[in-house]
Amino acid sequence: MQFSANLGFLFRDLTLPDAIRAAKRHGFAAVELHWPYDTDASVVAEALAETGLPLLGINTARGDVAAGDFGLSALPGRQTEARAAIDQAVEWALATNCRNIHVMAGKAAGDEAFATFTGNLRYATEAAAPHRIGLLIEPLNPRDAPGYFLADLPTALRVIDATEGAAKVMFDCYHMQIIQGDLLDTATKYADRIGHIQFAAVPDRSEPDHGEVDYGWLLRAIADAGYSAPFGAEYRPATNSFAWMERFQP
C-alpha cells in the first residue's frame, strides 16, 4: 500500500515546499493540500519535481472564513464567488500538475442549494475536464461540520447522478465512520464512484493506529478489492511518529 500525506494537517510547522520534502523523507508516495493559495504555485511545483511526488488534490477556497463560510458552491446567490474559486483552483492545479480539485459545497440546505451546487459543478467540469483534472466532492459528518450541504453519502451520489458523473466521491473514512460506518462494504460497493480515500483515527482524528477503526485491516481489504491509488493520511498528529505506516504494510 502507498500513502499520501495531507499537508493541511501534517508537517504544519514547515513551509509548503519543505513539507513536501519531509513527506518524501518519511516514505509517503504522494501529497495533497487543503488551501495552498498563499504559496506561489511555481515554488510548490519545483518541490514536487524535486521529490517526484504527485499532488493528488487541492480544495476550492472556503470563502469568508471569519463569517462562517466553509465552501461556496452550494450557496444560492454566490455563484460568482464560487466560480471564481473554481477558476483559482484550476489555475493552481495546472501550475502544479495537480490531479484533482475538491469542490467544497459549503453550509446550505434544500432544493435551491442542490440546484446551485450541481450548476457550479457543471461549470467546474467545463473548466477542469479539458485539462484532465478530476473533481471530487466530500460528505462531511455533521458533528465536525454542522450545516454542511453534503452530510451523507446518498446526497453526494444524488449530486453525481444529477451532473452525469461530473465528480467522484472523496471517501474520508473518518467522516464516513461517524456518518454511517460499514466502511468496507460501502467503499467496495461504490468503488466506481470513489476518486480518493482518506483516513484518520475515530473519534479523535489523530494517528490512525488506534480508535474505532482497524485501518491496518481495512485499508488492506480495500486495496485487495482493487483500490490501487495512495490512501490519504488526513489526520491531526498527536506525535511525531509515523510508525503506523510500517505496521500497515502486509
- To the query of whether residue 234 is one of the catalytic residues in this protein, the response is yes
Residue-wise pLDDT for 223-236, tens only, equals 999 999 999 999 99
Q: Which is nearest to 242 in space by CA: 18, 24, 17, 93?
A: 24
Residue-wise pLDDT for 180-197, tens only, equals 999 999 999 999 999 999
To 10 degrees, what angle do helices 79-96 and 111-128 make? 30
Looking at 81, 126, 207, 234, which residue is catalytic? 234
Phi, psi of 22 (to 5 degrees): -65, -40
Cis peptide, bond prior to residue 203, ω within 30 of zero: yes
- What is the rounded average pLDDT of the residues 158-168? 97
pLDDT of residue 180: 95
User: CB within 8 A of 12, min separation 6: which ones?
Assistant: 19
Question: Beta strands 231-233 and 3-6: pairing type?
Answer: parallel
pLDDT of residue 115: 98
Rounded mean pLDDT of the chain?
97
Q: Where in the chain is the domain with CATH 3.20.20.150?
A: 59-248
- pTM confidence score: 0.97
The grid coordinates listed for 196 are 480518493
- What is the rounded average pLDDT of the residues 113-135? 98
Residue-wise pLDDT for 40-93, tens only, equals 999 999 999 999 999 999 999 999 999 999 999 999 999 999 999 999 999 999
Q: Which is nearest to 200 in space by CA: 187, 188, 212?
A: 212
* Residue 250 pLDDT greater than 90, yes or no: no
Looking at 32, 46, 138, 212, which residue is catalytic? 138
3-state helix, strand, coil in the chain (%, to 5): 40, 15, 45
**Type and span of the H or E element at 116:** helix 111-128
Please say whether the structural domain 59-248 has been given the CATH code 3.40.50.1950.
Answer: no
Residue-wise pLDDT for 11-45, tens only, equals 999 999 999 999 999 999 999 999 999 999 999 99
Share of the chain above pLDDT 90, in %: 99
pLDDT of residue 249: 85
Q: Which residues in the chain belong to E strands, given as ranges?
A: 3-6, 30-32, 58-59, 100-102, 134-137, 168-172, 194-199, 231-233
pLDDT of residue 62: 98
Q: Which is nearest to 118 in space by CA: 175, 79, 61, 152?
A: 79
